[in-house]
A and B are shown apart, each in its own frame.
Chain A
Amino acid sequence: MSVAKSLPHDAARLHVTGAARYVDDIPTPADTLHLAFGVSTIARGQITAMDLAAVRAAPGVVAVLTAEDLPFANDVSPSVHDEPLLSDGAVHYMGQPLFLVVASTHLAARKAAHLARIDYAEETPILTVEDALAANSRFEEGPRIWEKGSATAAVAAAPRVVSGLFEIGGQEHFYLEGQAALAEPQEGGDVIIRSSTQHPTEIQHKVGEALGIPMHGVRVETRRMGGGFGGKESQGNALAVACAVAARLTGRVCKMRYDRDDDMIITGKRHDIRIRYRAGFTEDGDVLGVEFWHYLRCGWAQDLSLPVADRAMLHSDNAYCIPAMRIESHRLKTNTQSATAFRGFGGPQGMVGIERVMDHVAHDLGIDPVALRQRNYYDALGEGGLSAPRASATHPPEGISQEKKDNLTPYGMAVEDFELHGMTARLLESAAYDARRAAVADWNASNDVIKKGLGFSPVKFGISFTLSHLNQAGALVHVYQDGSIHLNHGGTEMGQGLFQKVAQVAASRFGVDLEAVKITATDTGKVPNTSATAASSGSDLNGMAVKAACDTIRDRMAAHLAELHQCAVAQVRFDRGAVHVGAEVMSFAEAAHACYLGRVSLSATGYYKTPKLSWDRLRGQGRPFFYFAYGAALTEVAVDTRSGENRILRADILHDAGASLNPALDIGQVEGAYVQGAGWLTTEELVWDERGALRTHAPSTYKIPACSDRPDVFNVSLWDGQNREETIYRSKAVGEPPFMLGISAWLALSDAVAACGETYPALDAPATAEALWHAVRRVRDA
């Protein structure tokens, strides 16, 4: 079988030869037009006059469009129609598209876009959490509040209490391929769009609205993205719609790609968040109650902010069964880029909140932070179930409360698949935690300049879209009469290896080599009404849909071949490129040809919807997730207390991908996610000035991890369990969960700073060198 094998990425050979085509690499006609937005230079106000004469007169300019020139809908919002493609007169953030330049070259369009003379009636922008709270500028009528038990009472009655308030910065996606789209006008007003998008159906929908045509007039194709990370779930809408409108107007192929600075200034990022907390606990370290207040800056438009903020709430427990918890979430509307999906989708923010609490509690009690976490873990339940992995038999370490917990999340979902007791034990052993904890303490006792720190963090991440209807997928599979197989499904490929994993499923169902399966571009004309490739759901949903399609064809083939050779259907087997029909053996190609001659349909669709989900987001009750994916990480760092400069010396990771469909690809996801997560909390700093200008809008000022930042020692393993739920070959989703393993790096830095004195370091994120320098002084001077 092809599944469970470490096969390379399907396009690896194209990648290494430079032959893999991204949107901007697709050959286009010589008269292709190129687009650029003219953007606002203030953060809030009204346009009083817009003089575009110089733009229109600039060399190479073919057309300039404003909101009034748009033929139909002026909206690119994925949610509540609050996001005009081009400003309707109001300016909501600095960098907002106001007009669209259509020109003969990319450079001509960009240069012309800077020639506009625009007068504004400027208003004071709402930029900060304080500004937004003072103005009551928010999405939804008020904060969303979910509660389990009475947290306020539990904290009040607790023997000990810690509290705090801290900031976690946002994060730029920095997909290496910027946003890009291409529109080709077709006969009869139809259009074909090629877009670097995680959500072709959404592009189809928005383009249809903008052109005043039904969705059937728009075909969207996406072969691959040069990275997505959530940044191409909704942020590609504007470019695709702009290209479609310009193509309709000019009758020519239109292409748009954002220059890196434009991309960073225009598009949304991860939500930054301020978290206030109060936690009550016993002298032994049993956390009795936690109260959280979340303040997210959502930016100017709603986009996906409500489900992002919900998911932050949904991960406020992380791996811990806390008897009472209250979470109050404020979704603030600010005059900044509209914050959007980013790997983890709010989950990381919520998880940092509770990890901060655990860290603070352990520091307050002076007990080992890993032991404290283990003590508060959910119980491992359901021993010996259908597919219980061997972890379930692992008991909590000695000294840990044996009292049975209710194992209910703050939103009332029973945790039935908790893996972290066994995973933690194995990670601590393989990473030699106890010895290294002692070695770090020894080092810090005898070194004043370089301080070391260790940080441990677990991950429990809920898998499914919290908007339940999105948990569906479709597939289209053809078997040709020569035995070759055409595979298509609704998922998009952004580097995560989805296409290969799903092709492995198809090859396994037909018992053929992977070479027999042709992977094809995502195409709204082949599989309709797809959900975004997001929420880590790509393999789960599309793998099952493809399996259904393949099994339909396989069953038809088996029935025909059994009849032809007078044997029972059960005696037809598809294995290693051959088809066994009773005593007969034929190649898969021969079998396919025989079925074609026998007038058997060799094409089928497949469909899947995730079972067991029921969720009431207003009450915050139900089962929003099919299952949980788990992980654990231990990071060691060194900090130079004179400068704040720091290094990750070693990272050890154990991650749960269920029965992995492709261990090489899954480990790649884990490694990349950890580094990206650590980058978010350490070096990646977004800075807006007092006018609302994003000052970090290029890699020269915004620091993502580089090769030189990789941990010196990086040990990554997969936990070889199986998903207890019936997912595709019992695998687990792996895209987002390991991102949060990066929290261990932030905790390790906190641990190193804590070694400088007695006070809790209370780090914000990102813990840049500058922030660490200040923190060291704070702790030393206290």
Chain B
Amino acid sequence: MSKKFHVSTTVNGDPVEFLCDSRETVLDVLRDRLSLTGAKEGCGTGDCGACSITVDDRLVCACLMLGAEAEGKSIETVEGIAAGEDLHPLQKRFIEYAALQCGICTPGILVAAKNLLEKHPDPTEEQVRYWLAGNLCRCTGYDKIIRAVMDTAAEMREAS
């Protein structure tokens, strides 16, 4: 078997170390080595967004980044969005608005939407639509997703 890489990184605020093969993606590492299965493999080619995570606050597809490249980085996944039992406003709105059906695209969409609101607290609807255009959903038709993101943004602006 090929050489293993020893990687030290931060996942959802916790220091994490793992060994991985040269070909393993961050998605493989998260799912198979760290038991964080919230990020999903929808296509494996960076087209569907189901594996969206942030790396040093940058939105990436975990299937397109190698595990070895995570050295020294800070990774955030869907599992880190809620503060313990307290859901993030986006998560609450997604439930309230029925902005999910089968739920398998939901983790990626939430990671992407949270990243958008951190960078652009007052997005236009068009901005939301194009920011999330890389996150495919086959169930909902997107309308409730966009409304949930827009209304969460408004709510968070008022709260801050």
A residues 6-39 in Cβ contact with B at 8 Å: 6, 8-9, 11-22, 24-25, 27
Q: Are A176 and B105 in contact (CB under 8 A)?
A: yes
Q: Which residues of B contact A665 (CB under 8 A)?
A: 98
A residues 490-545 in Cβ contact with B at 8 Å: 494-497
Q: In the docked arrangement, what's the CA distance between A664 and B148, Å?
A: 14
B residues 1-57 in Cβ contact with A at 8 Å: 1, 23, 28, 31, 35-45, 47-48, 50
Q: In the docked arrangement, what's the CA distance between A197 and B13, Å?
A: 37
Residue of A nearest to B104 (CB): A226
A710 at interface by CB-CB < 8 Å = yes
Known: A16-B110, A59-B1, A497-B101. A707 touches B87 (CB 8 A): no
A227 at interface by CB-CB < 8 Å = yes
| Interface-side segment among A71-79, A410-418, A671-679, A771-779 | A671-679
Q: Which residues of A contact B40 (CB under 8 A)?
A: 22, 24, 176-177, 226
Q: Which residues of B contact A6 (CB under 8 A)?
A: 98
Q: Are B78 and A11 in contact (CB under 8 A)?
A: no
Interface centre among A11, A226, A229, A665 (most CB of B within 10 A): A226
Residue of B nearest to A16 (CB): B91
Q: Which residues of A contact B39 (CB under 8 A)?
A: 18
A629 to chain B, nearest CB (A): 18
A224 at interface by CB-CB < 8 Å = yes
Residue of B nearest to A22 (CB): B104
Q: In the docked arrangement, what's the CA distance between A705 and B138, Å?
A: 8
Q: Which residues of B contact A14 (CB under 8 A)?
A: 103
A566 at interface by CB-CB < 8 Å = no
Name B141's contact: one of A17, A173, A174, A710 (CB within 8 Å). Answer: A710
Q: In the docked arrangement, what's the CA distance between A711 and B125, Å?
A: 12
Name A227's contact: one of B78, B102, B141 (CB within 8 Å). Answer: B102
B117 at interface by CB-CB < 8 Å = no
Q: Are B104 and A176 in contact (CB under 8 A)?
A: yes
Q: Are A710 and B136 in contact (CB under 8 A)?
A: no
B residues 94-142 in Cβ contact with A at 8 Å: 94-96, 98, 100-107, 110, 128-130, 132-142
Name A260's contact: one of B44, B94, B98, B139 (CB within 8 Å). Answer: B44
Name B95's contact: one of A12, A227, A228, A261 (CB within 8 Å). Answer: A12
Q: Which residues of B contact A664 (CB under 8 A)?
A: 98
Known: A176-B105, A226-B40, A226-B102. A16 touches B95 (CB 8 A): yes
Q: Are A16 and B100 in contact (CB under 8 A)?
A: yes
Q: Are B145 and A707 in contact (CB under 8 A)?
A: yes
B1 to chain A, nearest CB (A): 7
A549 at interface by CB-CB < 8 Å = no
Which size bracket describes the interface of A in this complex? 35 or more
Q: Which residues of B contact A261 (CB under 8 A)?
A: 44
B127 to chain A, nearest CB (A): 11
B74 at interface by CB-CB < 8 Å = no
Q: In the docked arrangement, what's the CA distance between A696 and B150, Å?
A: 34
Q: Which residues of A contact B105 (CB under 8 A)?
A: 176
Q: In the docked arrangement, what's the CA distance between A229 and B96, Å?
A: 24
Q: Which residues of A contact B129 (CB under 8 A)?
A: 707-708, 710
Known: A9-B103, A707-B129, A708-B129. A174 touches B44 (CB 8 A): no
B70 at interface by CB-CB < 8 Å = no
A674 to chain B, nearest CB (A): 6
Q: Are A668 and B140 in contact (CB under 8 A)?
A: yes
Q: Which residues of B contact A11 (CB under 8 A)?
A: 103
A residues 314-371 in Cβ contact with B at 8 Å: none
Q: Mark A738-779, 1 if CB is under 8 A from B, else 0.
A: 000000000000000000000000000000000000000000
Interface of chain A, main secondary structure: loop
Q: In the docked arrangement, what's the CA distance between A13 and B110, Å?
A: 13
Q: Which residues of B contact A673 (CB under 8 A)?
A: 141
Q: Are A227 and B139 in contact (CB under 8 A)?
A: yes
Q: Are B103 and A699 in contact (CB under 8 A)?
A: no
Interface centre among A21, A665, A671, A716 (most CB of B within 10 A): A671
Q: Which residues of A contact B50 (CB under 8 A)?
A: 176
A107 at interface by CB-CB < 8 Å = yes
Q: In the docked arrangement, what's the CA distance between A676 and B145, Å?
A: 16
A659 at interface by CB-CB < 8 Å = no
Known: A8-B96, A176-B42, A707-B142. A20 touches B79 (CB 8 A): no
Q: Mark A105-149, 1 if CB is under 8 A from B, else 0.
A: 001000000000000000000000000000000000000000000
B68 to chain A, nearest CB (A): 15
Interface centre among A228, A668, A704, A716 (most CB of B within 10 A): A668
Q: In the docked arrangement, what's the CA distance between A439 and B13, Å?
A: 56
B41 to chain A, nearest CB (A): 8
Q: Are A707 and B133 in contact (CB under 8 A)?
A: yes
Q: In the docked arrangement, what's the CA distance between A224 and B100, Å?
A: 14
A57 to chain B, nearest CB (A): 15
Q: Are A676 and B141 in contact (CB under 8 A)?
A: yes
Name A17's contact: one of B82, B130, B142 (CB within 8 Å). Answer: B82
Q: Mark A657-673, 1 if CB is under 8 A from B, else 0.
A: 00000001101100111
Q: Are B138 and A704 in contact (CB under 8 A)?
A: yes
B66 at interface by CB-CB < 8 Å = no
A residues 179-228 in Cβ contact with B at 8 Å: 224-228
Q: Are A27 and B138 in contact (CB under 8 A)?
A: no
B143 at interface by CB-CB < 8 Å = yes
A16 to chain B, nearest CB (A): 4
B146 at interface by CB-CB < 8 Å = yes
Interface centre among A174, A176, A227, A711 (most CB of B within 10 A): A176
Q: Are A21 and B37 in contact (CB under 8 A)?
A: yes
Q: Which residues of A contact B140 (CB under 8 A)?
A: 668, 671-672, 675
B144 at interface by CB-CB < 8 Å = yes
Interface centre among B38, B81, B96 (most CB of A within 10 A): B38
B107 to chain A, nearest CB (A): 4
Q: Are B107 and A18 in contact (CB under 8 A)?
A: yes
A729 at interface by CB-CB < 8 Å = no
Q: In the docked arrangement, what's the CA distance between A21 and B40, Å?
A: 11
A706 at interface by CB-CB < 8 Å = yes
A-B contact pairs, 7 of them (CB 8 A): A14-B103, A18-B78, A24-B37, A59-B1, A496-B101, A700-B47, A707-B130
B residues neighboring A (CB under 8 Å): 1, 23, 28, 31, 35-45, 47-48, 50, 77-79, 81-82, 87, 90-91, 94-96, 98, 100-107, 110, 128-130, 132-146
8 further A-B pairs in the complex, CB-CB below 8 A; given A176-B105, A672-B141, A676-B138: A17-B38, A18-B79, A22-B40, A176-B40, A260-B43, A675-B140, A704-B136, A706-B133
Report the 5 A-B pairs with minimum CB-CB distance, sorted nearest first: A18-B38, A495-B102, A226-B104, A15-B103, A675-B141
